[in-house]
Structures are given as C-alpha cells and as structure tokens.
A and B are shown apart, each in its own frame.
Chain A
Amino acid sequence: MTMAGYDIFDILVGRGDEKKPVIVQGITGSYGSTHTRLMKAYGTNIAAGVTPGKGGQSFEGIPVYNGMAEAVKATGAQISGIFVPAQFFLGAAMDALDAGIKLLVAIPEHVPIRDSIKVIEHAKSKGARMVGPNTAGVIVPEVMKVGIMPAQPFKRGNTVVFSRSGTLMYEVSYNLSNRGYGQRLCLGIGGDPINGTNLIEAFDLVRNRPDVDSVVVVGEIGGDAEEQLADYIIRTSFSKPVVAYIAGRAAPKEKRMGHAGAIVYGNYGSAESKVANYAKASVPVAKRPAEVPELLAQKMRR
C-alpha cells in the first residue's frame, strides 16, 4: 500500500525549505479563516483559498476561487488544507484531487468512513496522498505548517513525530523541544479508524531521509496500527531509533474514548497488546508524555 517515490518533503518544502504554495479549502469559514491567519503568520505560503460561491473575493489579500481547478491553475499549488465541515469533505477532497493536488491535509472530524475510503482510493489513482482526516495537520517546524497546531511546542531539528492524537502531538513535541530534540516533521495521523496515511506509510516517508535521525510515534488504544507498525519495524529492519507513547492504558473496554478509532474490545486495540508488540520490535514505550525525551536520549546513546 506504500507509494514508491512519493516524497512528502519535496512536496512540502522542496529541496531547501522553499515556500511552496498552499491552498486552503473553506478559507472563508470561521475555522478556515482563523487558521489561515495562523498558518500565514507561521510562514506558510497561503497562495489561494477556495469557497464555492465566493470566487473573486479575497481574504486578507489571498485570492478566493470557486473551485480547486481554478485555484491550482492560478497558483501551481500541490498542497491543500481542507477546513470544510465533514458533510462537505468528500466533494472538497475529490475536487482537489481532480485538480492535481498531491498532498491533502484533511482537518475535519466526523468524516464518514465511506468518504475517507473513497478519497484514499482516488488519491492512490492520482499518485496523491491524504493525511487525516481528523488530524491536526502537518508541520515542518520553523518553515511552514498546514493544520491547526499551535506554533509554540515545535522547534526545528532532526526528530520526526507521528501522532494519532492532535493535542498529544503538541504535548510530546513540546517535551522534545524543551530537551533539545527539535523536529524535522510532525504529522498527525488522525483519530479516525481509517487514515489516509497510516503509521507504516508515514514511516516509509522518512526511512531514507538523512536529515531525520529518530522517530517518535504517539499512539492510542484502538485498532492494530501499532501492532502492524511493530511488525513493519522488525520485517523491514527499520534502522532509526524509535520511541513510542500510547494513551488510554486506563480506559475501560468497549467505550469509544473521544476519537472514533479509540476503542478496545478484548485484547484487540488494548494498550497491553501494543506495548507487547513494541517490545518485540525493541521500541520503548513512555509511561507519560514527559518521559518520551528521556527514552529517546537512552535510545540515541546506544
């Protein structure tokens, strides 16, 4: 399921931290407009926005188009951040893919599973990739961000953080930054049962990057993404140091813990199962977010 040759870094920042154009879908909505300002302030080159019916207007000097075809034609953008409500997600994502977008960052929560699957299949046929839905987005610290994450937890460096939870991505990155482990990339996998980019695909994006020296993976209960990842690390001899954190050890079974994907039944999806599988892959699991940098320091010393 991996896409050979897909270079997310090249799409995000080119060869040398270039300011690549980004389109915001839903730019005039309350969510989209708030985060457009924040992304711009962080240094993201928001080249255009799309809101059907508002073409021809502008938002803070950013031109607004009715559809993605026009917006892509005008800007040459390969990246789109989707900030529309879940009901409009499918249409927006398909519009973006048809217009040639290569990286879709899908922020909305409560997207129907069916719609996610349709978008993933269409993206695959177009050589594109979706991150999310229900993700905080993607950030290349001190260069650009497409998403809703705050700026302050992130510092530039050589670690990568992949997270199934938004706030825990901030918290863990903050702890890493404070202890001198800046990040080259932080990517929100998303809290849904089905993700455009799952953990294994995310690891594939960084395994051959010389500017990435370690990976922190923030998981949670539910599903078997961590188990599959542990197997992948062993099977493909993933060589960079990996440290994990798993939220939800104390959560009761058969209850959906806020995220659509965070639910345990029996041993399937349980923290115990994930910790046990990580142990087989020699991946230490932190007990609390603040312990992540300590474990990483130990791993890096070896």
Chain B
Amino acid sequence: MTYIAALTANMRLLEYQGKELFDQYGIRIPRSHLANTVEEAREGAKKIGIPLVLKSQLTVGGRGKAGAILKVKSEAELAPKFNELVHKEVKGELPRGILLEEMADIKKELYLSLFLNRSKRCYSLISSAEGGVEIESAGNKVVVDIPVDGLTPQVAEDTATKLGLTGNAAVAFVDLTTKLSKLASEKEAELAEINPVAILGDGSMLALDAKVIIDDNAMFRHPELKKYEHVSELEKQAEVSGFSLVELEGNIAIIGNGAGLVMSTLDLVADAGGKAGAFLDFGGRATTETIYEALRVVSQIKKVEAILVNLFGGIVRTDLVAQGLLDAYKNNVITVPVFARISGAESERAKQMLQGSRAKLYNTVEEAIQAAVAAVGRR
C-alpha cells in the first residue's frame, strides 16, 4: 500500500495546519500550541502543562525515527529540547515551527485515512486496528472504496465492526470517520490521514497526528486554504509565469515545452553522464517573452553552468524563441552557454539569428546534450 505516500504535493499541510482543519470539523485533537521561539514555547507550556510533547513541523515523513519528536518531562528540559528541534534538519528540511502538545492517556491506537485512488477513481477508506506504524506494515487493514462525495453511516459502521470496535469506541469511530470524510470531500483532499487515532479510557477518540494533502488544482475554490500554501520564491516566480519548475542537484538547467519532453531530456542528460540542475516546462505558449522569463528563472539558480533548451512541435515559433535567447544575453539575464535543439516552425530563421551568439543550435537533442555535458564536464 505504498501508494498512499505517492501523493506528495505542494499542498501537503503541516501537522498543525491539518489539525486546525480537524478542529473545524469537530474532530478532537490534543490541546496544543505552535511556537517559533523559546518565549512562545514557554507560553504554550503554561497553557498545556508539563509533561508535554514537542513535535517538529515538517512535510517529510519519519519524524519519530529522525528524533524530531521529543518528550518534555520538566520545565528545565523545555528550552534545550526546543532549541534542539528548531535547528534539526530532517531529510534536508528545517521545521516551520514546533508544536507543543499535551500527553494523551492512550488505551489503544488505530490507523485511519481517506485517499484518492487513481485507478479506481474514488476515495479509498483505509483503517487498521494497528495505529502508529506505517500503514504499509500494519496488519489487518480494512479497505473500502467510497464515492468522492462521502461515505454513508452504514459503511462506517461496517468498518467499525470489522476493526473489532464495540460500544463507545464503535460510536466514536463512526463519528470520526464521518467527519474526516466530510473534510476530505469539502476541502478536496487527495489524502486525509490520522495516524494514530488514540482511543482513550472512556472510548472517545483523539487525532494524535494529521497528514492532509489538498488537490493543488482545486485551490481556486479554497481561498480559505491559501494561508497554508508554501512555495519557494523561485517556484512562485515560475508559477506566476505558468511554468513548472523543479530544482535539482546538478549544473545543467533543462528548459522545454511539455513535461514529458523535459523528463525525457533529463533521462538523456543522465545517460550522457551529465546532471540536471533544473527542470522547467514552460508549456505550450512559447513566445519571446516566455523563453526570456524561463531563462531569467533558471539563471537565479547559482549552480547552473549551462542551459539546455529542447523544443519540439509546430506550435512553437522557433524564431520567437531565438529572439528571447538574444534578448536574455543582451540584457545580461544569462551569462552561461545555451545548447538548444529547436524543432518547429521557422527553425532555419532561428538558426541564422543565433549565429555568433553564445547559444548554439543542434539538429538533434542527443548532439545538444553531448555538447552541453562536454562543456560543463561529466560528474
């Protein structure tokens, strides 16, 4: 069931953000307080009381194993442990705040999630009586496919029975599942996961963690979620221009028209011993302005030593693209060499225009790649 984690997106909410949504939908969460400074942490500790838990707010998984969740048993421990977490990187990511939470009196833990199933084109409700572990390794999973508009109480009741829940716990489970399903439907979540759900002594249920991923493309219907968006400055610039940008490790920036084509170029660069430093798809609307803007965006990535442009298709006017390249050199937007394969309308004219510039045109993408890799050196 590895497909759950396959839904990583821009709109992967942090735990505290997910819990804010849970709270709005009446899903019980522990008492908590978000802190960015030691002072804020002290304030929070007063509110919650010690002992408490400090949880690093990250979008990457595996926080527990990475030591990014710490228990605080006395007031003296608070500041040092808080400072430890603030500076602790997990998988290259620094926390965006530390969440202080009360310690719950847990009797039992469950797993519960709703995720959007690609091949079945519906939500799958996944639950397990083994919570707190990764769902891939949890046993006795109960999986039910439900329509995107939400589940019926009957489905929730049947699932509770299959999980072996009775009495108050069964009632609490149906209530929790109904609320989570409502949240997923209304907020257009690709994933809404609670792992673990804590069953308390009285059978009531508490969401100890929250992983919520919203469909980026549905954001126009959700201005209320705008505050949770988190993109880098460069990605923001790219997005404004309608580009898709992914920053990578290498030194060759790849610009092309179409995600598939850019991906394919990335593969060929790797095959030729080169390493891509950026993936930029500027879509179908290639004009002098868009190529200029694409060059401006990738030029801000410091490690980029060469730019590879791969354009294919009759929609692209290659002479307009060539003009964009010339303008970018003239205005010192780029200083690194450009290796281009441009196939489209007016490509002969484009070739003439670029003669004598630092941009070279090649007939095939393979030749352009060979030259680019030779220029920056193999890695």
Q: Do A and B come from one complex?
A: yes
Interface residues of chain A, those whose CB is within 8 Å of chain B, are 86-87, 109-118, 120-121, 148-153, 163-171, 174, 191, 193-194, 198, 218, 220-225, 228, 245, 247-252, 254-269, 287-290
Q: How far is the CA of A266 from the CA of B62 in the complex (A)?
A: 14
- Provided the pairs A114-B215, A257-B246 are in contact, do residues A247 and B263 lie with their beta carbons within 8 angstroms? yes
Q: Apart from A86-B220, A171-B312, A220-B259, what are 11 other A-B pairs with CB-CB below 8 Å? A: A150-B313, A165-B263, A223-B119, A225-B118, A250-B266, A256-B9, A256-B244, A258-B244, A262-B259, A262-B263, A265-B5
Interface residue from A113, A150, A171, A250 paired with B215 (Cβ < 8 Å): A113
Query: B309 to nearest A CB, angstroms?
Result: 13
Query: B218 near A: Cβ within 8 Å?
Result: yes
B315 near A150 with CB under 8 A, answer: yes
Q: How far is the CA of A224 from the CA of B3 in the complex (A)?
A: 9
Which chain B residue lies CB-closest to A268?
A: B2
**Chain A residues whose CB sits within 8 angstroms of the CB of B49 once the complex forms:** none
B121 near A117 with CB under 8 A, answer: yes
**Chain B residues whose CB sits within 8 angstroms of the CB of A247 once the complex forms:** 260-261, 263-264, 267
A267 near B260 with CB under 8 A, answer: no
Interface-located stretch among B34-42, B162-170, B276-284:
B276-284
Interface residue from B258, B263, B268 paired with A166 (Cβ < 8 Å): B258
Query: A3 to nearest B CB, angstroms?
Result: 14
6 closest Cβ pairs, A-B complex: A165-B260, A150-B314, A258-B259, A167-B258, A250-B270, A112-B218
**Chain B residues whose CB sits within 8 angstroms of the CB of A168 once the complex forms:** 258, 260-261, 264
Which chain A residue lies CB-closest to B275?
A: A250
Q: How far is the CA of A220 from the CA of B271 in the complex (A)?
A: 17
Task: Give the interface size class of chain B.
Answer: 35 or more
**Chain B residues whose CB sits within 8 angstroms of the CB of A111 once the complex forms:** 217
For B1-17 the 0/1 string (1 means CB < 8 A from A) is: 01101111110000000
- Provided the pairs A150-B313, A287-B271 are in contact, do residues A257 and B263 lie with their beta carbons within 8 angstroms? yes
A112 near B268 with CB under 8 A, answer: no
Which chain B residue lies CB-closest to A115?
A: B218
B276 near A250 with CB under 8 A, answer: yes
- Provided the pairs A247-B263, A287-B271 are in contact, do residues A258 and B246 lie with their beta carbons within 8 angstroms? yes
B264 near A148 with CB under 8 A, answer: no
A114 near B188 with CB under 8 A, answer: yes
**Chain B residues whose CB sits within 8 angstroms of the CB of A152 once the complex forms:** 314
- Provided the pairs A112-B188, A113-B188, A247-B264 are in contact, do residues A266 and B244 lie with their beta carbons within 8 angstroms? no
**Chain B residues whose CB sits within 8 angstroms of the CB of A265 once the complex forms:** 2-3, 5-8
Query: A254 to nearest B CB, angstroms?
Result: 5
A194 near B121 with CB under 8 A, answer: yes
Interface residues of chain B, those whose CB is within 8 Å of chain A, are 2-3, 5-10, 116, 118-119, 121-122, 148, 188, 190, 215-218, 220-221, 244, 246, 248-249, 256-264, 266-271, 276, 279, 281, 283-284, 312-315, 344, 364, 366
- Provided the pairs A113-B190, A150-B314, A165-B261 are in contact, do residues A266 and B281 lie with their beta carbons within 8 angstroms? no
Query: B90 to nearest A CB, angstroms?
Result: 14
B6 near A264 with CB under 8 A, answer: yes
Q: How far is the CA of A191 from the CA of B263 in the complex (A)?
A: 12
A170 near B220 with CB under 8 A, answer: no
**Chain B residues whose CB sits within 8 angstroms of the CB of A221 once the complex forms:** 263
Q: How far is the CA of A48 from the CA of B270 in the complex (A)?
A: 47
A255 near B119 with CB under 8 A, answer: no
**Chain A residues whose CB sits within 8 angstroms of the CB of B215 once the complex forms:** 112-114
Which chain A residue lies CB-closest to B222?
A: A112
Which chain A residue lies CB-closest to B262?
A: A258
**Chain B residues whose CB sits within 8 angstroms of the CB of A256 once the complex forms:** 8-10, 244, 246
A87 near B220 with CB under 8 A, answer: yes
Q: How far is the CA of A113 from the CA of B364 in the complex (A)?
A: 37
**Chain B residues whose CB sits within 8 angstroms of the CB of A114 once the complex forms:** 148, 188, 215, 218
**Chain A residues whose CB sits within 8 angstroms of the CB of B6 once the complex forms:** 222-223, 263-266, 268-269
Q: How far is the CA of A264 from the CA of B5 in the complex (A)?
A: 9
**Chain B residues whose CB sits within 8 angstroms of the CB of A228 once the complex forms:** 119
A198 near B312 with CB under 8 A, answer: no
Q: How far is the CA of A87 from the CA of B219 in the complex (A)?
A: 10
B259 near A257 with CB under 8 A, answer: yes
